[in-house]
A and B are shown apart, each in its own frame.
Chain A
Amino acid sequence: MDDQTKRKNWMGLLAKSAPQAVKRLCETLCETYTFEWLRQPETGGVMVRGRTGGTGSAFNMGEVTVTRCSLRLDEGTVGHGYVQGRDKTHATQAALVDALMQTPAADQIETEILQPLRETRARQQVAIQARANATKVDFFTMVRGDD
């Protein structure tokens, strides 16, 4: 996996994880590391698009709330946070994790924060899938009596 794909993955994971889960895991981060803002956390909207007929051209469905920010660690690394919702702490922590993942602290962040988030997410998805599979219809054909 190249660096860009890796970064894409952790940023997506941080955005899709519940703000409370990110907060719980990142509590000490904000105290340990200091940074300066390049862009203060701000909430806005992103227009979500769909595809005509599921596969065709784009159309606008409606917006989703998104909070973003950018920061620079004291040692110079820049991190960006883009998360769904209006939680500024969530965006800040996502940006901080993004920055730290580009520093020697990456391994520690990976084990202490990203790995638990990934496991939580996988657990939730498996639970939903199992629940959905339990509602899968098994058809059976009645045997006709006349043949």
Chain B
Amino acid sequence: MYVAVKGGEKAIDAAHDWLADVRRGDPAVAELSLAQIREQMSLAVDRVMSEGSLFDLDLAALAIKQSRGDLIEAIFLIRAYRTTLPRFGASHPVETDSMQCQRRISATFKDVPGGQILGPTFDYTHRLLDFKLAAEGLTPADTPTQDTPDLAAERKPHVMDFLNKDGLIETAEATNDTPPDLTREPLELPANRALRLQNLTRADEGFLLGLAYSTQRGYARNHAFVGELRIGKVAIEMDIPELGFSIEIGEMTVTECETVNQFKGSKSEPPQFTRGYGLVFGQCERKAISMALVDRALRWKELGEDFAGAPAQDEEFVLSHSDNIQATGFLEHIKLPHYVDFQSELELIRSIRTAATAALAETKIAAE
């Protein structure tokens, strides 16, 4: 028998009121502004934009405030908002070689043209808590005075171009194909590399990190070097139909990672290095490196490698479980009312038990 149940409205309202209060915290402490979150929690903002798959700093800051700092909840809010936006079109591919780099390092070439630019990095810090930050009202250090740089001369060519010249590394050739879009068509397997990269760039950072780490520990090892890691702003250019030509409609910070991996060769071609690629919204360095390692592991078939049965090689496993909003949606739904489902399970186990008890009693009688 199915009984429709209504109710709980008052409880839900009271719960949401309380949520608003705990979100605000102690009223004696000043409230966070969106500008403060945007400026001072910028890497959290970047993560929410990257996994929320929508570049908008203020919206990401709002989502973080609303979700009490639960970043997956914030990503959920951004994904939900994203679906309400009409799509104006698609940009030209961003050209990362014309990026104004604020960070650009190579782990493979010490003397890379353009130099190793460390940028604002946690690398080489001692990971000791800095109690100076606990004291409020610090004045920022003076910016060092520098010679005025010549912007035009500061363009940084991709490190991979140098290996390309010698034919030591595979090239990435451009085609004019329109890439498949996960937000318009459901994921279908097998996926091509463009679809995999879209899935990976919006994937959960923790999931990708774990998979990438598994490849380093030996599950489909492909021995990656970071050929280049760069962070900076790129222009977003789009064709405008009413103008009949393209214009730059904005710019965004992105993180790009290119890995150099072990060789592929064949009877007709000499061995050369292979590559993995990561490109992520905002400053998300760990994610970009992880993405490149997982991208490379997923390319086993195309590169003629063996399937070692490793999770990072398994396209269906990786692509179906990488999205934290899909994952959390399915995981968290099991805490919502399942009274009717569970009622039927109860009925079932009771009838099975009755039958089993009766059968047991019969065997006992027969034995006596």
Q: Which of B54, B117, B118 contacts A64 (CB 8 A)?
A: B54
Q: Which of B36-44, B250-258, B328-336 lines the interface with chain A?
A: B250-258
List, in ascending order, chain B residues with CB within 8 A of A126's CB.
Answer: 148-149, 151
- Shortest Cβ distance from B267 into chain A, in angstroms? 25
Partner of A45, one of B88, B94, B151, B242: B88
- Give chain B residues whose Cβ lies under 8 Å from the Cβ of A64: 54-56, 91, 236, 250, 252
Choice from B85, B154, B194, B201 contacting A65 with Cβ under 8 Å:
B85
Q: For the complex, what is the distance from the CA of A53 to the CA of B296, rounded to whole Å?
A: 11
- A103-147 interface (Cβ within 8 A of B): 122, 125-137, 139
- B179 / chain A contacts, CB cutoff of 8 Å: 49, 57-60
Which of B56, B182, B275 has most A Cβ within 10 Å?
B56
Contact, CB under 8 Å: A46 / B238: yes
CB <8 Å contact, A65 and B55:
yes
Contacts A45-B85, A54-B160, A54-B256; is A84 near B249 (CB within 8 Å)? yes
Given known contacts A4-B245, A59-B194, A134 and B144 CB-to-CB distance under 8 angstroms: yes
The chain A residue with its CB closest to the CB of B54 is: A63
From A68, A80, A135, B118 is in contact (CB under 8 Å) with: A135
Interface residue SS majority, chain B? mixed
Say whether B82 faces chain A, with CB atoms less than 8 Å apart.
yes
Of chain A, the residue at the smallest CB distance from B248 is A12
Tell whether, in the assembled complex, residue A63 and residue B55 are in contact, meaning their CB atoms are under 8 Å apart. Answer: yes
Which of A42, A53, A131 is the one whose CB lies under 8 Å from B258?
A: A53
Q: How far is the CA of A136 from the CA of B119 in the complex (A)?
A: 8
Q: How many residues of B contact A (CB 8 A)?
A: 85
- The reply to whether B103 and A132 form a contact with Cβ atoms under 8 Å apart is yes
A101 CB–B CB distance under 8 Å: no
B43 to chain A, nearest CB (A): 17
Instruction: Tell me whether B363 is interfacial, beta carbon within 8 Å.
Output: no
Question: Contact between B174 and A57 (Cβ–Cβ < 8 Å)?
Answer: yes
Q: How many residues of A contact B (CB 8 A)?
A: 55
Nearest-CB residue, chain B, relative to A52? B172
| Interface segment, one of B4-12, B108-116, B315-323, B346-354 | B108-116
10 pairs, A vs B, C-beta closer than 8 Å: A8-B245, A42-B86, A48-B236, A57-B194, A60-B90, A61-B201, A62-B52, A62-B53, A135-B120, A136-B117
- Top 6 closest A-B pairs, CB basis? A84-B250, A53-B172, A56-B172, A12-B248, A130-B146, A62-B53
Not counting A47-B181, A47-B183, a sample of 18 additional A-B residue pairs whose C-beta atoms are within 8 angstroms of each other reads A16-B250, A44-B87, A49-B93, A49-B179, A50-B201, A54-B160, A57-B174, A58-B194, A59-B197, A60-B181, A64-B55, A85-B56, A126-B149, A129-B149, A129-B154, A133-B146, A133-B154, A139-B110
Measuring CB to CB, which residues of chain B are less than 8 angstroms from any residue of chain A? 49-50, 52-56, 58-59, 82, 85-97, 100-103, 110-111, 115-120, 143-144, 146-149, 151, 154, 158, 160, 171-175, 177-183, 193-195, 197-198, 201-202, 235-236, 238, 240, 242-243, 245-252, 254, 256, 258, 275, 277, 279, 281
